[in-house]
Every structure is written in structure tokens, then in C-alpha cells.
Amino acid sequence: MSIFAVQGLTVDIGGRRIVHGIDFAIPAGRCLALVGESGSGKSQSCFAPFGLSIGVAGGSAVLNGAQLVGAGEATLRRLRGRDVGFVFQQPLTALTPHLTVGKMLSEAWRQAGAPRPGRAEMIAALERVGIEQAGDRLDQYPHRLSGGQRQRVAIAMAIAHRPKLLVADEPTTALDAVLRADMMRLLDRLRAEEGMAMLLVSHDLASVADHADEALVLREGRMIEAGPAPMLLRAPDSDYARALIAASPRLTDPAPPLGPVGAPLIEARGVSVSFERPGWRRGRVTAVDDAALTIAEGEALALVGRSGSGKSTLGRAIARLGPIDAGDVRFGGTSLPDRKAMQPADRAGLQPVFQDPIASLDPLWRVADVIAEPLHNLQPDLDAAAVAAKVAAALTEVDLDPALADRRPSALSGGQAQRVAIARALIASPRMLLLDEATSALDTLVAGTVLDLLGRLQRTRGLSILMITHDLAVARRLCHRVAVIDAGRIVEEGPMEKVIGAPSHPVTQKLVAASH
């Protein structure tokens, strides 16, 4: 008997049909994966039947014998809390910003009707999903966690009450290759031991092939092909599925041609960052310890490490977007001032592009306002016509239609939103970009086009790039060199091909092995 089954499932938004009659069933202990590019209807197919999207579900969706389509909110709320765990794609927006991790975990137990957990039980739940220093994390708020740590908290909350069905929308997107494999093995074990069914959305096609039982390929809300996941993803019948697979970067791909590099642009020495321990504990936690990086003009450096290794903290310290306890950062031969003393002209040269494309854009602003924001500080004398012309040129440069300027971020796809974020960075005419997991939230086809765009911009503008990522295969598409960080320390650094071909540090060896 199936835990969850849909027949003729449709989803409509504003009178427009975006999912067109799909069918699938998931028995206990089995995993079905939905794959496809952004906008293919994967997430809507997962969440609309449960009343968790603006889409209106039609057809049939039966959870453990209960019909979801047409059910009232009270019924849906009871079924969601008791029988289902949800992992959403964007952990920062899925977690409650004013609650600590411990309070959110406790709430997850309460909503499932379980007794309030003790501190030891919550620590065990965090350790189960690979969170280190779990006792400290209980007292922290989501903004103090790395993207990978936030995703692990979301997974811990979703499985805390031992649900019959886990609906996981990109559950390992923000995790490094080692932890991604560990997390999928954990979910495999839960399915085997507890008979939990899993509905998985993922653009990590290698992971789908290794861990899902069945796969269903969607395009524009329609079923393109379905079958056993290992067979479908290794020998697909459809051209579309073959294109998805071909777009997935691999370390075995030929090395891409990269542009020439010039004189040093960024020189960071002795960078250290620490944070106060949360809650009642005294002392400080060291996040970055005596790190040093150099990036030349026109060069792309990948800062790679496991989730929570300190890579984003180091990148933000270098760009003067976050705190720094000690160290000197020179940009073009001149030491950058403290972040509180940074002037608009200081920030113009190094512009960031963040991990979550939607969350990094103001939801109340039009695209034109988002992109033009840097100009208000850097070129305040420009009139409205000149600003509009620059916005249109920036949209064109990132391969977007200038007509998108009047849209709100909520009306953009993930790939469009990330291109808008890149356009906002480029309009300041920077010499360097800081890319903080800038493609990890995108599907393989869209991520590939964004990487191609960044490579073209690097060549045409001579941009330097600091690329923060947990994915070596993605970094190899763009980067000349790689620096590996672990527990806040740079443990290995060198040319990309040399490091991935003969890694010397155990951490690097694990990352390379997990990326194959």
C-alpha cells in the first residue's frame, strides 16, 4: 500500500495551469524523486496538495488513506503536523528568525503532538544530522548559522517526530559533498528502519541516481519520462533528461580554458574572526583563524570547505561585510578600512552575490530599483533617464530582457533572480565579485548558464572572483586556483587541477572523493 499517491494531479495559479495531470505513488520505505529545471512544477507538485503554496490542487492526492484535495485547512494542518515532515529549499526563509534553534525544535515536536523534548534529546536530534557543537547551536538564531547548518536544522525539525512521509525540496542543496552523501544515507536509513516514504526534489542528479528508487522528469508541468531512478538517470530516453544530465558538472570533465591573470588585487593576511558564545556560556568561538589569501586581477579563486568551515565568514571579513578581529586586507595595494568606516567608493570595487537569489532582493522593490540601488550612493547626480538606461544595459549584459525591470522579485525564477543580483553588482563597475554559493540554489541547467555568464563577464571585464562554494566540480568551471578551509584554517591551496588531481590534506581528499 502506498503512503502517498497522486492521480491526475493538477495545480492552477491565478487561473493558469502549471501542473498538468501527473501520476505517481510512493510505498512505505521508498523514495520518488522529481527532477527538472526551474519552473517545471516540481515544488508546486509537492506542496500544493498540502495547502502550502498559492497553487490550487486538483485531481487526487491521498496520504495514508486521507484525501488531501478539497480538504479543509484544519484537516490539512492536522495531517501535516502528524504524518508529514517538510524540508524547504531556502532554509533561511523557512526558519523563524526570532526563535533559537532549540525553540524551533521544541515547536516541531509540539506540532506533531509529542511531549516537549529535553535539552539532551534536542542535542541528539542535531547531532543525528551532523551538526557539531550541537549544545551551542541550540541557543543560536538562524542568522548565526551557515547555510549548511541552517539546512541541517531544517532537516532535524522535519524528521524529529518520525513522519510517515518526508517531502524534501532540495534538502541537500546547501551542504558540502561529504555531508550531502552522509545526509542522504541518513534518510535512506530512516526509510529502511521506520518505513518512511520520501518525495524528493533535487537537481543533484548523481545523488538521485544513487538514493532514489523512482524518478519522474517534469518539464513545464508535464511528465516527460518516469522509471527506476538509476536506470533513467544513467540511460534516459528523452532529449530533455539527457540535457539535464549533461549540464551536471563533473571533476572528470575536461579542464575549461581560463583567462590570463595579472598583478595581485586582493591580499589578505592574518585574518581572524570570533563570535561570542550564545546563551549563558562565556567566552568566544573562533570561526576563522589566521587565514591568508591572495587573488590577482582577472583571477578566480575558489574558497572550498565543508558546511560551517568558516568560508563565508572569511569571505565577508575580506569584503568588509562581516566582523574581523585581526588581520589586514589590501585592495589594489591599499588597506581597506574597518567595515564601519567603509565609504561607498570603497565598496564599489568589490561587490557581493549571495547564495539565496530571492532572499537577497528586496521583495517590495521593482527589479529596476534593486539594480539601481548602488547608483544612488556612487553616482547620485544621475537623472532618472540615465539611471534607467544603465539598468537596461545591466539587464542586457546578464542576458535578461530589460522589460523585466518593472517586475517584483517574487515574479522571477531563481535563475532570473540571480542574474538580477549579478546585474546589481555589475552596475557599480567592480573590479572583483564575491560569489557566496551563487549557484547552489539553482538547477543544473540554470546554474550552468549562470556559470557561463560569469565566465564571460570575467573575460570581458577582467573581473577577479572569490568564489565561496562547497562544490569542487562547480568551482572548476570558473576558477584558476582553490583554497581549502577547515575549522577556520586554510589547510591546502594551489592550482585547481593540481589540487583536485593530487590532494594532500585529508579534508581535501574527502571533498574530492565525494565529488566524483
Side by side, the strands of the sheet bearing 432-436 are 350-353, 432-436, 464-469, 300-305, 481-486, 489-495
Alpha helices in 84-118 (DSSP H): 91-94, 101-111
Whether pTM > 0.85 for this model: the answer is no
Distances (CA, A) of 83 to 94, 121, 153, 174, 398: 19, 20, 19, 26, 44
pLDDT of residue 368: 95
pLDDT of residue 52: 92
In tens, the pLDDT along 357-380 reads 777 889 899 999 999 999 988 888
In tens, the pLDDT along 108-117 reads 888 777 788 8
pLDDT of residue 40: 87
Three-class secondary structure of residue 24 per DSSP: strand
CA–CA gap between residue 31 and residue 208 (Å, rounded): 9
In tens, the pLDDT along 321-346 reads 999 999 999 999 999 998 889 988 88
Q: With contact defined as beta carbons under 8 Å apart, do 416 and 424 qualify?
A: no
Q: Which residues contact 472 (CB under 8 A, 6 or more apart)?
A: 177, 251, 302, 304, 482, 500, 511, 512, 515
**Phi/psi at 137 (5° precision):** -65, -30
Nearest CA to 120 among 104, 131, 134, 108? 134
Q: Which residues contact 131 (CB under 8 A, 6 or more apart)?
A: 137, 149, 152, 153, 156
Distances (CA, A) of 113 to 51, 128, 211: 20, 21, 30
CA–CA gap between residue 370 and residue 407 (Å, rounded): 11
Q: With contact defined as beta carbons under 8 Å apart, do 17 and 221 qualify?
A: yes
CA–CA gap between residue 438 and residue 428 (Å, rounded): 18
Domain boundaries, the chain: 2-246, 251-349+431-516, 357-429
pLDDT of residue 279: 63
CA–CA gap between residue 46 and residue 32 (Å, rounded): 11
Distances (CA, A) of 184 to 84, 121, 159, 179, 188: 18, 22, 13, 8, 6
Burial class of residue 293 (count of CB atoms within 10 Å of its CB; 0-12, 13-18, 19+)? buried
Band (183; pLDDT cuts 50, 70, 90): confident
Q: Options 3.10.129.10, 3.40.50.970, 3.40.50.300, 3.30.530.20; which CATH number does 2-246 get? A: 3.40.50.300
Compute the average pLDDT of residues 10-39: 93
Q: Options 3.30.2290.10, 3.40.50.300, 3.30.360.10, 3.20.20.10; which CATH number does 251-349+431-516 get? A: 3.40.50.300
**Phi/psi at 143 (5° precision):** -70, -15
What is the identity of the amino acid at 405? A
Q: Which residues of 11-29 are buried (b: 16+ CB within 10 A; e: fewer)?
A: bbeeeeebbeebebbbebb
Compute the average pLDDT of residues 462-479: 92
In tens, the pLDDT along 88-113 reads 877 777 888 899 999 999 988 887 77
Grid cell digits, residue 243: 540535457
Strands 2-13 and 56-63: antiparallel
CA–CA gap between residue 467 and residue 477 (Å, rounded): 11
Q: What is the mean pLDDT of the chain?
A: 90
Residue % of the chain over a pLDDT of 70: 99
Strands 481-486 and 489-495: antiparallel
**Fold match flag (2-246 vs 251-349+431-516):** yes
Helix (H) or strand (E) holding 121: helix 119-128
CA–CA gap between residue 7 and residue 49 (Å, rounded): 12
Q: Which residues contact 118 (CB under 8 A, 6 or more apart)?
A: none
Nearest CA to 134 among 116, 108, 152, 158? 152
In tens, the pLDDT along 238-292 reads 999 998 888 888 888 888 888 899 999 999 999 999 988 766 667 888 999 999 9
Question: Crossing angle of helices 414-426/444-461, nearest 10°?
Answer: 10
pLDDT of residue 280: 61
CA–CA gap between residue 365 and residue 357 (Å, rounded): 14
Q: With contact defined as beta carbons under 8 Å apart, do 310 and 491 qualify?
A: no
**Top-confidence range, 28-37, 38-47, 432-441:** 28-37
